[in-house]
Amino acid sequence: MTSAKKLSSKRRVILKLSGEALREAGSKDNISPEIVDRMACEVKAAMDTGKVELGVVVGGGNFWRGASASARGMDRATADYVGMLATVMNALALQGALEEKGVPTIVQSAIEMKNVAETFIRRKASRQLANGHVVIFAAGTGSPFFSTDTTAALRASEMGADQVLKATMVDGVYDSDPKKNPDAKRYDRVSFQECISRQLQVMDSTAFSLCMDNKIPIIVFDLEKPGNVTAALLGEDIGTVVDSGDA
């Protein structure tokens, strides 16, 4: 796979947000304006430094999960397409919050919907990143059976990103489930190969393989702690680094 060549020396990253992260726990609303606003504030703080080029991939799980719908009898491809449309709603909400704060933002969709988003074009997206726009990649890969984790890995590879930042509800990668094992060990850094050998669930297998094959480090960090998104975007020591393990 040939990645896009960066047009500047800025740090270029892809931030992966789950759809669930946009919903307040216990709320009936699928999108929390307060949470979206907080994320936009943290992204703005990083963008204002002029040190980062940012692409965002957001999931749609706060509205719909294709795999779950398929398990209940719906055709899987159709269920996944519904999920892709859910990611567009989240992308537009995030775009609105960012632009309200003066951050130039473009939504590029893998499924054509010209009235609300640009259609994804790799070279155009790379230029937009270099020109200081936040580019939100919506509608997944445009094909069923692929997760938004895979979308993040794919867009990172295409954009020549330096890292994939995976924002989660835990503060890194552990050797076992910290919710079940109070003695679980958190890694500061772990190699791709060790993740495979220890069966550590960092991303789904397709996404993980894309990052490993293209030597794109994955940073897993806690989204809920205030300031963490800004810190991750600026390359501060945060969460767990998953990489090739080279010194």
Q: Which residues are annotated as a binding site for ATP?
A: 16-19, 61, 65, 168, 174, 177
Q: Give the CB-side neighbour count of residue 44, counting CA atoms within 13 A.
A: 17
Exposed/middle/buried for 169, CB within 10 Å: 0-12, 13-18, 19+?
exposed
Chain length of the chain = 247
The residue whose two tokens read 């990052």 is 211
Contact of 229 with 39, CB cutoff 8 Å? yes
Q: Please state, in angstroms and rounded to a whole number, the distance separating the CA atoms of residues 210 and 103.
A: 30
The residue whose two tokens read 């994955």 is 218
Q: Please state, in angstroms and rounded to a whole number, the distance separating the CA atoms of residues 19 and 41.
A: 18
Contact of 3 with 44, CB cutoff 8 Å? no
Q: How are beta strands 218-222 and 240-243 bridged, if at all?
A: antiparallel
Q: Which residues are annotated as a binding site for UMP?
A: 60, 80, 141-148
Q: Which residues are annotated as a binding site?
A: 16-19, 60-61, 65, 80, 141-148, 168, 174, 177
Residue (of 185, 189, 166, 167) closest to 177 by Cα position: 185
The residue whose two tokens read 């988003």 is 117
Burial readout 172-187 (b: 16 or more C-beta within 10 A, e: otherwise): bbbeeeeeeeeeeeeb
